[in-house]
Chains A and B, each alone.
Chain A
Amino acid sequence: MAVGLASGRPFLMIAYILKRLLIGAATLLLASAVVFAVMEVLPGDPAQVMLGMSATPEATANLREQMGLDQPLMWRYISWVGGLLVGDFGRSYTYSAPVSSLIAERLVVSLPLALMSLVLSTVIAIPVGIFSAARRGRLPDSIAMGTAQLGVAIPNFWFALLLIYVFAVGLQLVPSGGFPGWGGGIWNGLKSLILPSVALALPQAAILARVTRSALLDVLGEDYIRTARAKGLPRGRVLRRHALRNAMIPVLTILGLQFAFLLAGTIIIENVFYLPGLGRLVFQSITQRDLIVVEGVVMLLVASVIIVNVLVDLAYALVDPRLREAA
């Protein structure tokens, strides 16, 4: 509501945003120190670890120098963080390519996939949650929530196989796997992401629908719902106009957590559909002990989680005027 934002003191809203951004930046810095430290305390010499036991001492020494391991610890940390800030994540040993371009390559698959799944899960879950809450305890509610329970319980790779069997093999509507790249037209790219995003979205939607329903039911017991009913508003309108916005806080929290998962927690689905995404990059780097790539991807994920959390905090303030002043 325009009225909502204009009222109160604009300073407070700006202070709220600044504060969230500052906290986000501080968390990011702390996380970078932790990630860096973890790589340092790993047993053995990173160069040795990466090259394996059979490497010659010369090769190891070479890599050490290339990785800057001969520099003092503090200096290495500062130059690493400095590099991150300008988008220099270092060079991958196994791919012999800059980590940033490896990540960028994978992000063009993972980011659209995560966004599609998120939109899909929201579009399914919130209406189902509202539908169920409005019919609490009746048959349609039980059916919807039973289905949601099933959605949480079924492993998504199994569901993915089912989707491939029906839509790719059977009906032949979409490819069964692989990613042609965006060069061959947007539609071709999107087509190969449809099944994976459905497979990812459904379990998320099932959780989100249950959260939406229970948050709404909590709100429907509030006194102001009775006040709204006493105005003569029909049930459905009270649910949409009064209950929904108040129920959004827990829903937003879950959405924020889900986005972080969708960006990188998708290794299994990427494998099922043979997609070159971030999850597979991490998986391969770990098996090949390419620590620099792992470090870079982990930092990217940490950053995305923090950014999403800042966005969720801002969304809280849009939803609830009391939070704008509690800055």
Chain B
Amino acid sequence: MSLLEIENLTLSIGGASILKGVDLSLEAGEVMAVVGESGSGKSMTALTLMQLLPPGSKTGGRVIFDGQDLLKASEADMLRLRGDDIGMVFQEPMTALNPVKTIGEQVAEGIRWHTRVGRAEAEQRAAAMLDRVGLPQSKFPLSRYPHQLSGGQRQRVVIAIACALNPKLLIADEPTTALDVVLQKQILDLLRDLVEEKRMGLLLISHDLAVVAEMADRITIMRHGEVVEAGETSAILQAKAHAYTKQLAEASAHVPSVRVAAAPKTTPSLATDAPRPLLEVQSLSREYPGRRTGIFSREAPFRAVRDVSFSVGHGQSVALVGRSGCGKSTLARVILALDRPTGGSITFDGQRIDILPDAKLRAARRNMQVVFQDPYGSFDPRHRVERLVSEPLHLLENKPDRDERRTLVETALEEVGLAASDMEKYPHEFSGGQRQRLSIARALITKPKLIVADEPVSALDVSIRAQVLDLFADLNARLGVAYVFITHDLTVARAITDDVLVMHDGEIVERGPTGAILDNPQSDAAKALVAAAPDLDRALAARSRTKRAEALRPISG
């Protein structure tokens, strides 16, 4: 009998139908991936298993776990199962741990609660578990608080909590979405090892087919609360029988058609010919004072950006890639004059902006706009689109009157594929992808020569991401806007940029044409990024190799 058998599961919350007859099964020791975009119901399926649904939820069907129907289980039964037989790992490691409790307390708590062992023994087991997930006591004692750990380390703590009592079923809901590619690979490897070691069943929830292609034995693809397709991983991904599966697979490796057409174009490579580049950064450094260790002593200053030089030509698109914490966002802030460098110079459009007083930065700010990662967080929810999009207009020398402003907003909205009538709406009336279009419209309204985009598509679903990348490519081709694209996602870099700068520990360690660098990385940092980046085709090729090897292996005993 299967470890988990979901039959015709329905869920409605406050009358809205969320799940419409989901079927799914999982064996012990098996990895099942549930893939879908936001709103597909994949996370709600997981919360149904935990019986941690929001108030007002109604469920139907059957969820048989280890011989017991979870939909009929009492809260007391669920308390016994949660954290003991079923463990769960969540998406956002930065907020998943209680900030006022030590990691030791948080791992030991579940152990003490379920096994009723004493504090000392629970702490001993917690220490062993933390050691197993890669947080050895010598470097990460139990007395650490979450804020003293990085995102990847915190996710290891969450995994230690979930796996502390050797659950039969582990549910991981987008466990690596908030992490950079190298950390993503480490965490996925850890999960796979734990699953093999403890023969757990793993339900791995993800929006990214490439991520699960390497991990999963079987895949279930969901859309709008229904299972679209399910089956063995390589069969599903090779056949791409269902149109939606095909769409997901293609969207995750999408290259905008404008760029495909213009592919052989000979772009002025970094810091070579172009007589006067749009942006020129020379031996730029940004140091932060070290942490205080005594009244008169400090740690050595932290050098977030060290001696970085590069230039961006008019209409050129440059990717800045690197792991989280490599200094790429600091570099972007310094370029945008939101932060001052501690060394070096920045010349933008013929002007040294690093030494310009704030009051004289208007012209530079007008010609250099920014698009942030989080379209939800970058708008005031109480303002209408007209006001939000027209915000940068205060940078103009001649303030437009009301009619001119409306015309400018209209044009900007049309540039990004929205309607002029959208200017009367509020941000919550738009989807995530549309909101990112709004923030691009806001950036475009002053007709900038350069847009700095900090992870502009990483919060979006793959198919929406493809559309937004198309938009970026289109604006580049039509309006000649240059980009500095900050990303940890190499697919995005490949899709949209001419040149790439690879950053590591505050320095640029490799640079050149994007395709060439990503196909043939030289530096260790670039190699690590490329090797860790999920890649659907590579994963499938690896699978068929192991398959063949297994088929050729002589059958013994």
Contact = CB atoms under 8 A, between A and B. Distances in A.
Interface stretch (B104-112, B225-233, B403-411, B538-546): B104-112
B363 to A, nearest CB: 37
A322 B148 CA distance: 9
Interface residues of B, number: 43
Interface residues of A, number: 32
A11 B104 contact: no
Interface in B132-156: 141-145, 147-148
Contact of B79 (A11, A223, A232): A232
Given A232-B83, A232-B110, A227 B52 contact: no
Contacts of A95: none
Interface in A1-16: 1, 3-4, 6-9, 11-12, 15
B97 A229 contact: no
A229 B92 CA distance: 16
Contact of A7 (B95, B102, B110): B102
B141 to A, nearest CB: 8
A9 B75 CA distance: 42
Contact of B80 (A1, A232, A245, A321): A232
B383 interface: no
B293 A321 contact: no
Nearest to A320: B100
Contacts of B144: 7
B58 to A, nearest CB: 18
A231 B99 contact: no
Contacts of A191: none
B161 A322 contact: no
A233 B113 contact: yes
Interface in B72-111: 75, 78-84, 87-88, 90, 92, 95-102, 104-106, 109-110
A231 B87 CA distance: 7
Contacts of B106: 227
A246 interface: yes
The winner among A4, A7, A230, A233 for most chain B CB atoms within 10 A is A230
Given A223-B92, A231-B109, A233-B109, A242 B81 contact: no
A226 interface: yes
Nearest to B109: A231
Contacts of A7: 102, 141, 143-145
B82 A229 contact: yes
Contacts of B293: 9, 11
Interface string A219-251: 000111011111111100000011001100000
Given A223-B92, A223-B96, A322-B147, A232 B113 contact: yes
Contact of B83 (A8, A230, A241): A230
A234 B52 CA distance: 11
B158 interface: yes
A319 interface: yes
A232 B84 contact: yes
A321 B147 contact: yes
A18 to B, nearest CB: 9
Given A6-B143, A232-B110, A322-B147, A227 B158 contact: yes
A232 B82 contact: yes
Contacts of A222: 95
Contacts of B114: 232
Contacts of B75: 234
Interface string A65-97: 000000000000000000000000000000000
Most chain B Cβ neighbours within 10 Å, of A226, A231, A234: A231
B468 interface: no
Nearest to B297: A11
Contacts of A8: 145, 148
A231 B102 contact: no
B98 A246 contact: yes
B50 interface: yes
A246 B100 contact: yes
A234 B143 CA distance: 25
Nearest to B78: A232
Nearest to A137: B55
A228 B80 CA distance: 14
A224 B113 CA distance: 17
Contacts of A231: 82-83, 109-110, 113, 161
Contacts of B141: 7
B292 interface: yes
Contacts of A245: 100
Contacts of A322: 99, 145, 147
Contacts of B79: 232-234
Contact of A227 (B97, B113, B143): B97
Contacts of A223: 90, 92, 95-96
22 contacts: A3-B102, A7-B102, A7-B141, A7-B144, A8-B145, A11-B293, A223-B96, A226-B90, A227-B98, A227-B161, A228-B109, A230-B83, A230-B90, A232-B80, A232-B82, A232-B83, A232-B110, A233-B110, A241-B109, A242-B101, A246-B98, A246-B100
Top 5 A-B pairs ranked by shortest CB distance?
A232-B83, A7-B143, A231-B83, A231-B110, A232-B82
Interface of B: 50, 52, 75, 78-84, 87-88, 90, 92, 95-102, 104-106, 109-110, 113-114, 141-145, 147-148, 158, 161-162, 292-295
Given A1-B102, A1-B105, 12 more contacts: A4-B102, A7-B102, A15-B295, A223-B96, A224-B95, A224-B96, A227-B97, A227-B106, A228-B109, A230-B88, A246-B98, A325-B147
